[in-house]
């Protein structure tokens, strides 16, 4: 299944760095999400897009993960050639990730 | 028990105006805050001010004031906004002029200046956060440098009785937390309280993004009444706990899910969210639904503020030329690909000088490139897009031209060609010692 089935998400931007939240629809699923959705998996998913590293922050208090993607915005909102200047649509690219059905 | 109700009247420069009026009319608020200043907006405003010393404030300032000043006056709602952009004093005069036309009297207006540190940055040499390079390398191309001020300047203006406060660059959360600091007499060195207040400012600063705007995903996350989306308000208690809600009857919704999405918006390390007022810690924040469209937020923490202030520097970076054209029906994708190949060859043959170029097929791969976008079936239509970075406007124009000529010189059935070229004012940031930045407040009474 797609990550979208169990999580929702929003992208933010600062300079050439994007952050993507991954929020468990059901807080009970947070632990499983945190086990599966590693920095490596997210980096691999965005291998064509993210030039730098991916850092993950855990927020069990709200059942969410926060991914910070460095070098994700082709230079950043103020100078990128990309149509989506802020990379605002990237959250839906992450929601498109295939995850195990029994997660 | 005393409570302060603070409304969010705008989440960006071009935001809708009606929800702010609705908040002032029916929200039972004491403060209406308009956050309208994106990073680059101030650099472009600075360019406008250089051409005309009376320009450089937000283009919608008058429209927002015309809509909201009378109702705010009637309901004793104070207005705080960063719509001063590069010229808060000119913005203040414009507000006075607008108030006069509306027949309003007894209004004290304050303008905060001092965020403009262009001369300080030009005279010194500072390390740029993005590149590690030095600010001196941008000297001739620099158009603006603005420090992010904290909430102190707005608190001071409130203490001096201002009804309307217009600023330039002040940190987004700061213009929302200032009224709570003023009303409750909070110590600005109670770091946990400043951290909790910052969560409030952060949640409100994008207006509709917490009331169901930028959230809907049909079948997954449905939002009622988006056409009449209401903007949020926070009802703040003396201990800093607050409820995010909106005007009953307005569109949208405030739920745990909408609050969580906005909570992490533009956050990196949630334990260290640096603002001019505090280093806020979001890792112990708790959210609880306490009623329909009411979410109680507690548990924000903080540590002492840093000794530096962030400065955004605007500079003329380059030029971007762009062209687009659409292909539809059978074979749309191969015709689109052929069009891109043709443009690439012609740019080379005609010797257009560019530093960087990008070829997209909108509908296929323009947002997320090829790997993630793969669906296994071809779209019915695609839009060719070519964008290139150049060193001058003349070369930038040539890029769009080579796309437009696809009409008579490209694949069959191309339609809707469009082209543009623009100067790119880009932003970088640095940190400067707080001692380099001093604000002033100017007042006018009508």
Q: In Å, how far are B47, B88, B90 from B44, measured between CA atoms? A: 5, 14, 16
> Tokens 């001019």, residue?
B276
Q: How far apart are CA B201 and CA B33, in angstroms?
A: 10
In chain B, whose CA is at the least distance from the CA of A88? B367
* Least Cα separation, residue A43 to chain B (angstroms): 12
pLDDT, tens only, B271-295: 999 999 999 999 999 999 999 999 9
Average pLDDT over residues B38-53: 92
ipTM of the complex: 0.98
- The answer as to CATH 3.40.1350 being correct for domain A3-75 is no
* Least Cα separation, residue B120 to chain A (angstroms): 22
Q: How far apart are CA B407 and CA B410, in angstroms?
A: 6
Average pLDDT over residues B98-123: 97
B423 contact A CB<8A = no
Q: Are A47 and B394 in contact (CB under 8 A)?
A: no
Q: How far apart are CA A101 and CA B8, in angstroms?
A: 41
Give the number of other CB atoms < 10 A from CB of residue A84: 17
Interface test with A, best of B138, B142, B260, B264 (most A CBs within 10 A): B264
Q: What is the pLDDT of residue B354?
A: 98
pLDDT of residue B131 exceeding 90: no
Q: Are B115 and B149 in contact (CB under 8 A)?
A: yes
Q: Between B264, B372, B385, which is nearest A93 by CB? A: B372
Interface test with B, best of A2, A79, A89 (most B CBs within 10 A): A79
Residues 6+ positions from B214 with CB-CB distance below 8 Å: A10, B206, B208, B261
Q: What is the pLDDT of residue B376?
A: 79
Q: What is the pLDDT of residue A63?
A: 98
**Where does the pLDDT of residue B139 fall: very low under 50, low under 70, confident under 90, or very high at 90 and above?**
confident
Take residue B246 and report the two structure tokens written for it. Answer: 């909106």
CB contact under 8 A, B372 and A96: yes
**Where does the pLDDT of residue B348 fall: very low under 50, low under 70, confident under 90, or very high at 90 and above?**
very high
Query: Which run of H or E residues covers position B417?
Result: strand B415-433
In chain B, whose CA is at the least distance from the CA of A50? B368
Report the SS3 class of residue B164: strand
pLDDT, tens only, B349-407: 999 999 999 999 999 999 999 999 998 789 999 999 999 999 999 999 999 999 999 99
* Least Cα separation, residue A91 to chain B (angstroms): 10
In chain A, whose CA is at the least distance from the CA of B373? A93
Residue A14: HSE in the Cβ half-sphere, 13 Å Cα cutoff:
18
Interface test with B, best of A13, A61, A88, A92 (most B CBs within 10 A): A61
Look at residues B438, B429, B439 and name the one whose alpha carbon lies nearest to residue B145.
Answer: B429
Q: How far apart are CA A62 and CA B298, in angstroms?
A: 12
Q: Count Cβ atoms within 10 A of the Cβ of residue B120 and give its class: 0-12 exposed, 13-18 middle, 19 or more buried.
A: middle
pLDDT of residue B3 exceeding 90: yes
pLDDT of residue B307 exceeding 90: yes
Mean pLDDT score of chain B = 97
pLDDT of residue B40 exceeding 90: no
Q: How far apart are CA B438 and CA B279, in angstroms?
A: 21
Q: What is the pLDDT of residue B115?
A: 98
What residues does CATH 3.30.70.1120 cover in chain B? 313-429
As its CATH architecture, domain B313-429 has 2-Layer Sandwich (3.30)
**Where does the pLDDT of residue B39 fall: very low under 50, low under 70, confident under 90, or very high at 90 and above?**
confident
Show which residues on chain A lie within 8 Å of chain B, measured between beta carbons.
4, 8-10, 12-17, 19, 21, 23, 25, 45-49, 55, 57, 59, 61-64, 66, 68, 74, 76-79, 81-84, 89-90, 93, 96
Question: DSSP secondary-structure letter at B136?
Answer: G
B220 contact A CB<8A = yes
pLDDT, tens only, B154-205: 999 999 999 999 999 999 999 999 999 999 999 999 999 999 999 999 999 9
In chain A, whose CA is at the least distance from the CA of B128? A15
Q: How far apart are CA B49 and CA B55, in angstroms?
A: 5
């Amino acid at each position: 299944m797609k990550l979208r089935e169990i999580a929702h998400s929003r992208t933010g931007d600062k300079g050439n760095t994007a952050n993507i939240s991954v929020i468990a629809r059901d807080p009970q699923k947070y632990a499983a999400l945190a086990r599966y959705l590693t920095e490596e998996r997210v980096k691999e998913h965005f291998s064509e897009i993210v030039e730098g590293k991916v850092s993950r922050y855990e927020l069990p208090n709200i059942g969410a993960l926060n991914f910070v993607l460095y070098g994700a915005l082709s230079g950043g909102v103020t100078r990128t050639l990309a149509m989506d200047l802020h990379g605002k649509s990237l959250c839906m690219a992450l929601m498109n990730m295939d995850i195990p059905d029994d997660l | 028990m005393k409570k302060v109700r603070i409304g969010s009247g705008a989440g960006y420069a071009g935001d809708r105006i009606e929800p702010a009026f609705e908040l002032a009319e029916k929200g039972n608020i004491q403060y209406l805050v308009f956050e309208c200043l994106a990073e680059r907006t101030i650099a472009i405003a600075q360019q406008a001010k250089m051409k005309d010393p009376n320009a450089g404030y937000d283009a919608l300032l008058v429209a927002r004031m015309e809509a909201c000043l009378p109702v705010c006056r009637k309901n004793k709602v104070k207005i705080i906004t960063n719509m001063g952009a590069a010229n808060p004093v000119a913005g203040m005069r414009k507000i006075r002029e607008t108030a006069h036309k509306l027949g309003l009297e007894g209004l004290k207006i304050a303008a905060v200046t001092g965020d403009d540190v262009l001369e300080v940055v030009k005279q010194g040499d500072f390390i740029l956060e993005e590149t590690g390079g030095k600010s001196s390398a941008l000297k001739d191309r620099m158009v603006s440098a603005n420090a992010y001020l904290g909430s102190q300047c707005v608190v001071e203006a409130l203490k001096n009785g201002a009804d309307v406060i217009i600023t330039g660059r002040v940190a987004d959360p700061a213009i929302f937390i200032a009224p709570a600091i003023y009303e409750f007499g909070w110590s600005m060195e109670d770091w946990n309280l400043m951290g909790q207040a910052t969560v409030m400012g952060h949640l409100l600063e994008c207006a509709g993004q917490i009331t169901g705007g930028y959230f809907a995903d049909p079948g997954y996350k449905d939002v009622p009444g988006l056409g009449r989306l209401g903007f949020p308000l926070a009802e703040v208690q003396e201990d800093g706990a607050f409820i995010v809600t909106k005007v009953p009857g307005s569109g949208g919704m405030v739920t745990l899910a909408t609050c969580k999405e906005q909570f992490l918006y533009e956050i990196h390390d949630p334990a260290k969210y640096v603002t001019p007022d505090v280093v806020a810690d979001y890792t112990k924040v708790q959210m609880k639904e306490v009623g329909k469209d009411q979410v109680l937020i507690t548990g924000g923490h903080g540590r002492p503020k840093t000794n530096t202030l962030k400065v955004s520097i605007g500079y003329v970076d380059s030029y971007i030329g762009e062209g687009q054209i659409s292909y539809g029906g059978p074979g749309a994708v191969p015709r689109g690909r052929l069009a891109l190949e043709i443009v690439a060859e012609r740019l080379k043959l005609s010797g257009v000088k560019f530093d960087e170029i990008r070829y997209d097929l909108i509908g296929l791969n323009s947002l997320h490139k090829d790997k993630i976008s793969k669906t296994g079936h071809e779209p019915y239509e695609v839009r060719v897009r070519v964008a290139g970075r150049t060193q001058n406007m003349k070369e930038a124009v040539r890029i769009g031209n080579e796309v437009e000529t696809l009409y008579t010189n490209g694949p069959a059935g191309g339609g809707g060609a469009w082209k543009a070229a623009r100067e790119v004012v880009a932003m970088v940031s640095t940190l400067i010692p707080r001692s380099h930045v001093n604000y002033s407040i100017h007042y006018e009474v009508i």
